[in-house]
Structure 1
Amino acid sequence: MESVIQRIAHRGGALLAPENTLAAFRQALALPVDAIELDVQMSRDGQLIVFHDATVERLTEGRGNILDLDFAYLRALNVAARYPGGWPEPERIPTLREVLELIKGRRRIWIEIKPSRRGSVYGRYPGIAEAVVQELERSDMLSQAVVISFDWYLLPELRRLKPEIETGAILSEDIWDPQAGQALDTLLEQVRELGCSWLDVEVSLVQPQLPALVHAYGLKLGVWTVNSLEGLQRLAASGVDALTSDRPDLFAALE
């Protein structure tokens, strides 16, 4: 049974298994989670891949920017190559389709559409919104998905393609600095005008009044990334609607 608070495995549980891999997602499916979160980018030749970074060096033995790499090269890499403490077998970069097939009918899915990035220059993968919607349609998972992004102006594009799709704007310290006097009301109005259902907030930005304020705008509040039991329990009691963690095994204590 789904809990009142959505319990979300961040990248499948990045502190329990190599992130964004089928191994991580399979492990998460055995844990008390309501949804699995993952990151989607696009290879140079247009394949939707599940991978977080703009470059492959942190996680694999390869080199290069996703913008410059074809799927065949990416698929040959071992995403567990640099996993702390080692991992018993190689893990490959999955496609979004493979993950949807694994998760369908078992959990909800939160898809973060990543921007492309080269150095400090951010962009948008061509046609990525249409491609993600097509994969969700193909898998009959539109109603089980929440699509989130730092690229807020991608979100209404998703809803133009499929008005029923649930979207969320990600809010980080890079976007909103409460110490700088930026009005949260203005930001929440913008998120609502973009047609979003969710505001997904970095945990360091959460203030006691935030859940009630977000709810007053008709939005739901998600918080990322919460990796301690104390933090999960405190935020669960505060009225948030979703908690995202690299340690989804801790969610058992919230039941």
Structure 2
Amino acid sequence: MNQVQRVAHRGGAQLAPENTLAAFRNALTLPVDAIELDVQLSRDGQLVVFHDNTLDRLTNGTGNILDVDFADLRSLNAAASFPGGWPQPEQIPTLAEVLALVKGRLRVYIEIKLSKRDGVYGRYPKIAEAVVREVWAAKMLSQVLFISFDWPVLTELRSIESDLQVGALVSHDLWTPKNEQSVRELCDEVLSRGCQWVSLDQRLFADPMVNLIHQRGLKLALWTVNKAADLERLARAGVDSLTTDRPDLFSYLS
């Protein structure tokens, strides 16, 4: 079987409050090679690890991340809505805190998020430079894969630091797999952005894509795979990376 990278999505979102230090500490105890996390900017420019553009779903707060200062974000409980409850409050972590926790132990997939206000997506100002600066300060450039649905930011990342590993996140909103030619066209677009990885929604995947993507010199990642049987099947198909909310299930991979 191909040696697949085993990735804990948001630290393992079904096992602990997502994107918290508790989740990432738990991931360190599991058979994983990497954690995946999401990065956004507070109103006063702090890089925080949080998935949603708004605070409502995951915390005891409300409002847009981009409208809230870091000190106020830190006062919130990021475990407030964890199914079944969580024994203690968890703060929204900074990117620096997570990097310090896993340095030398796991790789990190950093998803750079778009901002959103009133239903309109935008780009956090200078977020690419800020993330690269933080990773460089941690001396972890070789341990990080930078990913985003915002493909232009991937080109920007490579212009800042040419040695970065970057991957294009691909969903139904961005691409429809019609035939082999559509896969080749996707590869061409991803390569033009300076990417080394294609990171597909698993629902877009078909087995022939593995060879087509590998032939172009790209690696293939799939997300978010939450059943043991699917993890096993996709690992055997030859993909390079599998991301799951249930990283404990990697123990079942042969």
Answer yes or no: same fold by TM over 0.5: yes
CA–CA distance in structure 2, aligned partners of residues 167 and 148 of structure 1: 6
CA–CA distance in structure 2, aligned partners of residues 132 and 254 of structure 1: 33
Q: Which residue of 1 aligns with 2:27?
A: 28
Deviation (angstroms), 1:182? 8.2
Q: Which residue of 2 aligns with 1:123?
A: 122
SS at match of 1:178: coil
Amino acid at match of 1:191: V
CA–CA distance in structure 1, aligned partners of residues 175 and 85 of structure 2: 37
SS at match of 1:122: strand
Q: Which residue of 1 aligns with 2:249?
A: 250
CA–CA distance in structure 2, aligned partners of residues 31 and 178 of structure 1: 34
Matched-pair contact (CA < 8 Å) for 2:183–2:213: no
Unaligned segments of structure 2, at least 5 residues: none
Matching of residue 10 in structure 1 with residue 16 in structure 2: no
Aligned residues with identical type, % of pairs: 60
Deviation (angstroms), 1:178? 2.7
CA–CA distance in structure 1, aligned partners of residues 25 and 66 of structure 2: 28
Deviation (angstroms), 1:177? 2.0
SS at match of 1:92: coil
Unaligned segments of structure 1, at least 5 residues: none
Matching of residue 87 in structure 1 with residue 104 in structure 2: no
Deviation (angstroms), 1:254? 1.3
Matched-pair contact (CA < 8 Å) for 2:183–2:209: no
Aligned pairs for 1:1-255 within 5 A: 4-178=3-177, 183-255=182-254
Summarize deviations over 1:205-232 as a string: whole Å, max 9, x none: 0012111111111100000000000100
Question: Displaced runs of 4+ in structure 1, greater than 4 A?
Answer: 179-182
CA–CA distance in structure 2, aligned partners of residues 51 and 71 of structure 1: 12
SS at match of 1:98: helix
Summarize deviations over 1:44-93 as a string: whole Å, max 9, x none: 10000000000000001101001111101111000111111000000000
Amino acid at match of 2:88: E
Summarize deviations over 1:161-188 as a string: whole Å, max 9, x none: 1111100000001111235998222121
Summarize deviations over 1:215-253 as a string: whole Å, max 9, x none: 111100000000000100010000100000000000011
Amino acid at match of 1:205: L
TM-score of the pair, normalised by structure 2: 0.97
CA–CA distance in structure 2, aligned partners of residues 243 and 183 of structure 1: 22
CA–CA distance in structure 1, aligned partners of residues 243 and 196 of structure 2: 17
Amino acid at match of 2:58: L
Amino acid at match of 2:83: P
CA–CA distance in structure 2, aligned partners of residues 4 and 234 of structure 1: 13
Deviation (angstroms), 1:4? 1.5
Report which stretch shifted further, 7-16 or 114-123.
114-123
CA–CA distance in structure 2, aligned partners of residues 176 and 156 of structure 1: 19
Calculate the aligned-residue CA RMSD, in Å.
1.4
Matched-pair contact (CA < 8 Å) for 1:176–1:182: no
Amino acid at match of 2:154: L
Report which stretch shifted further, 67-76 or 5-14.
67-76
Aligned residues: 253
SS at match of 2:10: helix
Summarize deviations over 1:88-132 as a string: whole Å, max 9, x none: 000000000000000101010000000001233111100100000
